[in-house]
Amino acid sequence: MANSKKMIIFDWNGTLIDDVWLNLNAINGVLEKRGIKPITTEYYRENFQFPVSLFYKELGLDVKGEWDEIAQEFGKLYIADIEKVKLFPDVVPVLEELTKAGIEVSILSAMEHKMLNRHVEMLRINKYFRFIEGIENYYAEGKTHLCRKILDESGYSENEILFVGDTCHDYETAKAAGCEAALVSRGHNTAEVLKSTGAPVFSSLSELLKKRLM
């Protein structure tokens, strides 16, 4: 594998796990409780952004007055069906290939840290990862500071790390940390939205492995 990267940092939601449907169900549950019309998968993927409070505000939610309630409601709805969330089919083969090539892998997620670790363990893939980092709360405000933390603790330079995600925020996170980004278009943002960042966009992790890392 001819590649200069020593570590790949993967986003979790929408990159390694197929959970767009669960996020959509949880958001629509919050909306319907307040008499707001539910949104479609297409609308969600075309408009989802970080911090999620901005996205929720555009949906008509009172994020200023009800933010704690909204975040807690969403969390409960998401957790209720989290056991139904699966890995994308190519995740384990790609992790195996990277491990064989001597490239370390880590996870950086806007999911709450303890929940993230429980989910990774539940899916039985924690053995692959050097770092598994989630945020400190349930508000999904962003994760740029955690990317910097992984970079500092890894011992690698910025140009030795590739950040792989599925949203524009993943690109912004990588850019803020000084790392290269690659984006996968089967998650929380569409290919068209992701291409607006200027980062390379792939349809799957298998395609990323073949075209960027092999």
Average pLDDT over residues 67-74: 93
Residue 2's pLDDT is what? Answer: 45
pLDDT digits (tens, 9 = 90+) for 82-130: 999 999 999 999 999 999 999 999 999 988 889 999 999 999 999 999 9
The secondary structure of 92-128 as a DSSP string is HHHHHHHHHTT-EEEEEEEEEHHHHHHHHHHTT-GGG
Residue 214's pLDDT is what? Answer: 65
Angle among Cα 111, 103, 84 to the nearest 5 degrees reads 35
Residue 6's pLDDT is what? Answer: 95
Which residues 6+ apart lie within 8 Å of 94 measured at CB? 205, 206, 208, 209
Helix (H) or strand (E) holding 168: helix 168-177
Cis peptide, bond prior to residue 51, ω within 30 of zero: yes
Whether residue 141 is predicted with pLDDT greater than 60 in this model: the reply is no
Identify the DSSP state of 213: I
Residue 142's pLDDT is what? Answer: 61
Which residues 6+ apart lie within 8 Å of 96 measured at CB? none
Of the candidates 183, 187, 185, 186, which has an alpha carbon nearest to the alpha carbon of residue 173?
Answer: 183
Spatial separation of the C-alpha atoms in residues 21 and 92, rounded to whole Å = 21
Average pLDDT, the chain: 93
Spatial separation of the C-alpha atoms in residues 161 and 148, rounded to whole Å = 11
Provide the percentage of residues in the chain whose pLDDT is more than 90.
Answer: 84
Average pLDDT over residues 27-48: 98
The pTM is what? 0.93
Average pLDDT over residues 127-152: 81
Angle among Cα 139, 79, 124 to the nearest 5 degrees reads 105
Provide the percentage of residues in the chain whose pLDDT is more than 70.
Answer: 95
